[in-house]
Amino acid sequence: MKKKKILTRILIWRLKHIKDKQFVIFLSLIVGILSGLAAIILKNLVHYTHYFMTDGFNFKTENFMYLAYPAIGIFLSVIFVKYIVKDNLAHGVSRILYAISKKNGRIKFHNTYSSMIGSTLTIGFGGSVGLEAPIVLTGSAIGSNLARFFRLNYKTVILMIGCGSAGAIAGIFKAPIAGVVFAIEVLMIDLTITTVIPLLISAVTGATVAYFLLGNAVLFSFNVTTPFLLPDIPFYIFLGIICGLISLYFTRAAMYIEKNYQLIKSTWLRIILGGTILGLLIFIFPSLFGEGYEALEDILKGNGESIINQSIFSNLIENQWLFLFLLLLIIFFKVIATSTTTGIGGVGGIFAPSLFMGGVTGFFTARLVNSISSVSVSESNFALVGMAGIMAGVMHSPLTAIFLIAEITGGYELLTPLIITATIAFLTIMYFEPHSIYTKRLALRGELMTHNKDKAVLSMMKANRLIETNFKSIHPDATLGELVSVISKSSRNIIPVVNEGQYFAGLIFLDHIRDIIFQPDKYNNTYVSDLMFTPEITLNPDESMEQIALKFQMSGKFNLVVLNEGKYLGFISRAKVFSSYRNLLKQFSED
């Protein structure tokens, strides 16, 4: 009781002394600080765990440890998730999108720390995933819980989720613009003056906190030394097409592999099988160990051969074509390693794997061009641009990819090729796959919030909240006289016909029987079963509002009956849908 009284006093004081707009600005600053701190903490946890596990590690003499480390880390992650958190931590960005679409922005409090612990165990021990999605979920959870603590409205809760994600991305990469663009492009936060200022504040604050505590050290950075050359444009177009096709492979293969792991009912059998496969892949190609940023740095520094040098195929790199084939194998197996890590219970995201695959793809393309033509292109530039290409394709976020790579390279020297490759990669995958790896599962279930405001509002509406039950029902064996009696007590012009057990039999419209209800001589020998009809279109409470709206449009009806496995539940009216839609649209739109 004391806690509730204190909270009430705080809320009352805030409402009296701080205006809503000022409070949102203040809260965005706090969310940015906390998200930036969370990013730094997670970055250091993963770094020192990885360092502790591999300090003095010599692949040539201790390579058997690659077989054990990832499985041990995932086993510990599963124990933590299954017995301590007791909730699903997988697919962090997808969980944020689901919370925005279907849970009014409610993200559980444990997500402010649980993803950090789970991803540290997974990635620190070599799981082939990234820490960006867990930290984005952490930042978004901080924003969501702070906004709900102060009893802010839905629109502000969603904005604070975006602020948390922007601060987290900015804190990890020291890339505030990329953080803001990520919130707008991936989390689909509306871009208005009201939203962009808090997003900018959180992103800049997160990046500033990272600079203050870590200096110039970042998760991944590179200074461009080779300028962009106009004659290279056709090769960047070619790279964009390659990145789009590899992104398609990434998206579909990852979902297929994860789905098949879920068919294994035993958690421990899944870990043993998947851990063995992951260990073998990392044993063959050690560059698949962890996030892969070390391999990317080697490529950018002109030492791309090192990613094969560390493998069991180190004696084959002198043959140029075998070397290119091995690079393709790394790209192919990275998807398997990543989806195996997440499929068997590891905690992590596809952000870093996308960058890794993009870097290797760009390096492969540049080396191929240099091998088969007289032209010499920059391998480091192509690796950077390839990172943007795969990221744009897999995440369907070309702007985030462009600005992220531009910021981590310390300038915009490669802006033109970044735009070319990221755009073409995005257009290529869009031809085959309209949804990103983050949104595909939600889209299939009709649970995806989009930038289309009509669809976004419809996705927020829930059918079971719109069901009207104030309709008088009647049994099919009842007589016309009994039906007239029911009509006299009903305020609606539709009478549902229901059997024993609430099973639906049909409908009677008052307009259809108006000519006989005033003929008493038919009251005893005319039955409801002779008057009712079966509607062509019915609704299910599990249907999305977009499907329901389409059924109203197709049928032209003002009321549609709702059935669940044949049982009558009530009606949804066109007027109720429209009224609910207008109320939500007011919340969704700017004041």
Query: Which one of 184, 214, 244 terminates a domain?
Result: 214
> Which stretch of 16-30, 377-391, 443-457, 576-590 has the lowest confidence by average pLDDT?
443-457
Separation CA 32–CA 49 (nearest Å): 26
Asked if the structure places residue 219 within a domain, the reply is no
Separation CA 19–CA 573 (nearest Å): 39
End-to-end Cα distance, the chain: 35
What amino acid occupies position 506? G
Asked if the structure places residue 223 within a domain, the reply is no
| DSSP type of residue 227 | P
> Which stretch of 38-42, 113-117, 497-501, 581-585 has the lowest confidence by average pLDDT?
581-585
* Gyration radius of the chain over CA positions: 29
Residues, the chain, total? 591
How sure is the predictor about 591, in pLDDT bands with cuts at 50, 70 and 90? Answer: very low
| DSSP type of residue 84 | I
Segment (H or E) for 415: helix 415-432
pLDDT for 141 beyond 50: yes
Which CATH number belongs to the domain containing residue 360 in this structure? 1.10.3080.10
Separation CA 152–CA 100 (nearest Å): 15
Mark whether 81 and 209 lie in a shared domain: yes
Mark whether 181 and 279 lie in a shared domain: no
Could you identify the residue written with the tokens 């192509």? 382
pLDDT for 588 beyond 60: no
Tally DSSP H helices, then E strands, for the chain: 26, 4
Asked if the structure places residue 220 within a domain, the reply is no
pLDDT for 62 beyond 60: no
Mark whether 294 and 383 lie in a shared domain: yes
Separation CA 198–CA 415 (nearest Å): 26
- Which are the contacts of 87, defined by CB distance < 8 A and separation ≥ 6? 81, 108, 110, 114
Q: What percent of the chain has pLDDT over 70?
A: 87
Across-strand partners of 533? Answer: 507
Separation CA 439–CA 443 (nearest Å): 6
How sure is the predictor about 220, in pLDDT bands with cuts at 50, 70 and 90? Answer: low
Asked if the structure places residue 425 within a domain, the reply is yes
For 491, counting Cβ atoms within 10 Å of its Cβ (0-12 exposed, 13-18 middle, 19+ buried), the class is: exposed
pTM of the predicted model as reported, rounded to 2 decimal places: 0.79
What pLDDT sits at residue 506? 84
Mark whether 31 and 171 lie in a shared domain: yes
Mark whether 464 and 434 lie in a shared domain: no
Count how many domains the chain has.
3
Mark whether 353 and 449 lie in a shared domain: yes
Cα–Cα distances in angstroms (integers) from residue 236 to residues 48, 149, 366, 456, 577, in the given order:
37, 49, 10, 35, 49
Mark whether 488 and 379 lie in a shared domain: no
List of long-range contacts for 467-470, beta carbons under 8 Å, 24+ apart: 467/541, 467/562, 467/569, 467/570, 467/571, 467/572, 468/570, 468/571, 468/572, 468/573, 468/576, 469/569, 469/570
pLDDT for 187 beyond 90: no
* pLDDT: which is higher, 60 or 40: 40
Separation CA 211–CA 437 (nearest Å): 31
Which residues constitute the domain of residue 518?
A: 459-588
The predicted-structure confidence for 511-530, as pLDDT tens digits, reads as follows: 778 778 778 877 788 888 88
SS3 554: helix
Separation CA 362–CA 356 (nearest Å): 10
Mark whether 255 and 190 lie in a shared domain: no
Segment (H or E) for 154: helix 154-173
SS3 508: strand
Taking CA 423 as the corner, what is the angle to CA 422 and CA 429, rounded to the nearest 5 degrees? 90
How sure is the predictor about 369, in pLDDT bands with cuts at 50, 70 and 90? Answer: very high
Cα–Cα distances in angstroms (integers) from residue 10 to residues 3, 13, 29, 150, 308, in the given order:
11, 5, 19, 9, 60
What pLDDT sits at residue 260? 92
The whole-number average pLDDT for the span 402-428 is 89
What pLDDT sits at residue 151? 82
The predicted-structure confidence for 4-18, as pLDDT tens digits, reads as follows: 666 667 667 676 767
- Which are the contacts of 219, defined by CB distance < 8 A and separation ≥ 6? 43, 172, 173, 293
The predicted-structure confidence for 492-505, as pLDDT tens digits, reads as follows: 888 888 888 888 88
Mark whether 448 and 467 lie in a shared domain: no
Query: Which one of 456, 484, 501 terminates a domain?
Result: 456
The predicted-structure confidence for 307-353, as pLDDT tens digits, reads as follows: 886 667 767 777 788 889 999 999 999 999 999 999 998 998 888 89
pLDDT for 41 beyond 50: yes
The predicted-structure confidence for 76-112, as pLDDT tens digits, reads as follows: 999 999 889 888 887 878 888 888 877 878 899 999 9
Mark whether 465 and 425 lie in a shared domain: no
pLDDT for 453 beyond 80: no
